[in-house]
Amino acid sequence: MNKKHVLALSGGVGGAKLAAGLAAVLSPEDLTIVVNTGDDFEHLGLTICPDIDSVTYALAGLNDTVRGWGVQDETWQTMAMLRGLGEADWFNLGDRDMGMHIARSWRLREGETLSQVTARLTRNLGITQAVVPMSDAPLRTQVGTAEGWLDFQRYFVAEQCRPVATGVRFVGAPGAAPSPAFAEALAREDLGAIIICPSNPYLSVDPILSVDGVRVALAQRRVPLVAVSPLVGGTSLKGPLAKLLGELGKPVSNASIADHYGDLLDHLVIDAGDGADEGGLRARGLCVTVTPTIMRGAEDRERLARVALTAARIKTG
Amino acid sequence: MNKKHVLALSGGVGGAKLAAGLAAVLSPEDLTIVVNTGDDFEHLGLTICPDIDSVTYALAGLNDTVRGWGVQDETWQTMAMLRGLGEADWFNLGDRDMGMHIARSWRLREGETLSQVTARLTRNLGITQAVVPMSDAPLRTQVGTAEGWLDFQRYFVAEQCRPVATGVRFVGAPGAAPSPAFAEALAREDLGAIIICPSNPYLSVDPILSVDGVRVALAQRRVPLVAVSPLVGGTSLKGPLAKLLGELGKPVSNASIADHYGDLLDHLVIDAGDGADEGGLRARGLCVTVTPTIMRGAEDRERLARVALTAARIKTG
């Protein structure tokens, strides 16, 4: 059997870029992208799945590359009206993006699972790869702070990651089963590699690892597990990872990333700017690839995807 | 007691114009605008109340006067995304308008009544008059056709009123109580007049009259009831009234309007272009005012509001 199926685990923007790179260099049937749903939340009666949307927009070529999140050619008229009506405006929702939230919320209320809705909406946008929520059950990331546990979006958007984090927890885990397509991908006979996209290990990847049975399945894997580090030049390119590492008492370095994944990890792809980490990582018995990891466009995404696949011993065309 | 409170019954666009005229010439506390909700429907998981929105946008000065419906400076990005996602696009929803539907749907799901939501949202838009749904219970207008009973928006928007109408019915009546503010307005000691705005008698006013107890309360009124005819120059200015009258076997004339309201009506305001109807109407013992009824702008609306109030023996400043 040609073990060439790739299971990618992804969070939001950074992960979505590598997911789009993998989608560009692999046959559609050879890729399953499992996306973090720990950031999902209910807002104004809508179910919002920021990471699924980031991956979806990236794969559909609809993502805004200048702003770095959301949909390109976006406008903000619905939000302006909601503000005029006295509704909460701390979470900014574009008009095009709103179509996604309305469609998803409507289909969920009609009884579809998040997996079914995601399959429907990604297919209608022309995406041929499997984009899969980690679970159809709610599993919600919360960040511990001096004021108590904050829901992820409250911490990330409303508070802009300002509170000092004392911990991270996942409400609903254990108890959240993997989505059918995630469970299937883990059990595939032709599974060839697992790639952890460059997403925040604590906030974006840990929720996926906290889904029932996933840590055990990954520990028992018979295929390479490659992570692309989200650190670039000793810090996080975007988002709170560097700040969070500091607050959790860990060095802001790839050693912390390697420690975090521990035995799960076979190979870490790190940024060329962090080449100094290489020796220490290798000394732990870890395979390391040093390469530029900033993805500015399609070419960067595809090159990094090929590097990650090579590290995982997956052949690409 | 100075009996000066005015209760206006309104449907959509035409009614909303006169409602805005009444709002401009009366003190806010002297006006209750009760709005048809028979056209309301659930679409894509949102509760849409077209007539409440028409009245709200007209009173807030947000209505699009060129297109004749919806919100001014409207865009259509959410709808374009919904179409791309494969969702129904037969009912066009603008981005600004969508803010209204999202806010309303969200508040209803949180447990507010339609009256409470409408009061909240109109107040937040700076509207100081009472804009009131006819009922907080669902009462849904359906139009009988050769293919069976069609929900109102299916008939009106999707089918563009093409099917021949064989009748109109109101699902949920009897059984729909008047909203608290509607019941209160009907019972006010200082109620001075009831004005039926120029809306379709069958499709927009009859639903209001079908709310539990409303016909009886109007029949027992001790104040003038004045209707402004929606016919202009022997036809309907907009909407299916003329076609509907023909299909129901009635002449397209103000005699049909007068017949329809029967004993409820004290005074009919008709368009100057329909002056020929005057004699026949007067011969029935009805008071008639003949005046231009097309409302092109604020001046027209306020002039017609004053004419209707004079017919109802209400003094304006």
State which H helix or E strand residue A161 sits in.
Answer: none
**Where residue B238 falls among pLDDT bands split at 50, 70, 90?**
confident
Sequence letter at residue B4? K
Residue A90 lies in a domain: no
Residue A45 lies in a domain: yes
Residue of chain B nearest A108, judged by CA positions: B45
**Where residue A276 falls among pLDDT bands split at 50, 70, 90?**
confident
Residue B132 lies in a domain: yes
**Where residue B45 falls among pLDDT bands split at 50, 70, 90?**
very high
Check B124 against A79: CB less than 8 A apart: no
Query: pLDDT at residue B137 above 80?
Result: yes
pLDDT score, position B156: 94
Check A120 against B74: CB less than 8 A apart: no
Q: For chain B, how many structural domains are there in total?
A: 1
A71–chain B Cβ distance below 8 A for any pair:
yes
Residue A81 lies in a domain: no
Q: Report the alpha-carbon distance of residue A243 to residue A235 in Å, rounded.
A: 9
Residue A86 lies in a domain: no
Tell me the ipTM for this assembly: 0.94
Query: pLDDT at residue B317 above 80?
Result: no
Average model confidence (pLDDT) across chain B: 96
**How far away is chain B from the Cα of A182, in angstroms, using its nearest Cα?**
23
Check A100 against B87: CB less than 8 A apart: no
Residue A95 lies in a domain: no
User: pLDDT digits over A67-111, tens only?
Assistant: 989 999 999 999 999 999 999 999 999 999 999 999 999 999 999
Terminus-to-terminus CA distance in chain B, angstroms?
18
CB-based contacts of A158, cutoff 8 Å, min separation 6: A90, A91
pLDDT score, position A232: 94
Query: pLDDT at residue B189 above 90?
Result: yes
Terminus-to-terminus CA distance in chain A, angstroms?
18
Q: Report the alpha-carbon distance of residue B294 to residue B301 in Å, rounded.
A: 8
Scanning A226-265 for CB atoms below 8 A from B yields none
> Which residue in B95, B103, B109 is closest to A95 by CB distance?
B95
A100–chain B Cβ distance below 8 A for any pair:
yes
Residue A41 lies in a domain: yes
Q: What is the CATH number of the domain that holds B19?
A: 3.40.50.10680
Q: Report the alpha-carbon distance of residue A134 to residue A139 in Å, rounded.
A: 9
A63 DSSP assignment = B
pLDDT score, position B68: 86
pLDDT score, position A239: 84
> Rounded mean pLDDT of B137-157?
96
Check B98 against A98: CB less than 8 A apart: yes
3-class DSSP assignment, residue A179: coil
**How far away is chain B from the Cα of A95, in angstroms, using its nearest Cα?**
5
Determine which of B42, B81, B92, B118 to mutate to test the interface with A (most A C-beta atoms within 10 Å).
B81
pLDDT score, position A51: 98
**How far away is chain B from the Cα of A72, in angstroms, using its nearest Cα?**
11
- Domain, as residue range, for A29: 5-63+110-311
**How far away is chain B from the Cα of A117, in angstroms, using its nearest Cα?**
10
Residue A72 lies in a domain: no
| Minimum mean pLDDT range among A299-313, B183-197, B271-285 | B271-285
> Rounded mean pLDDT of B168-192?
98
Query: pLDDT at residue A316 above 90?
Result: no
Cis-peptide into B178, omega within 30 deg: no
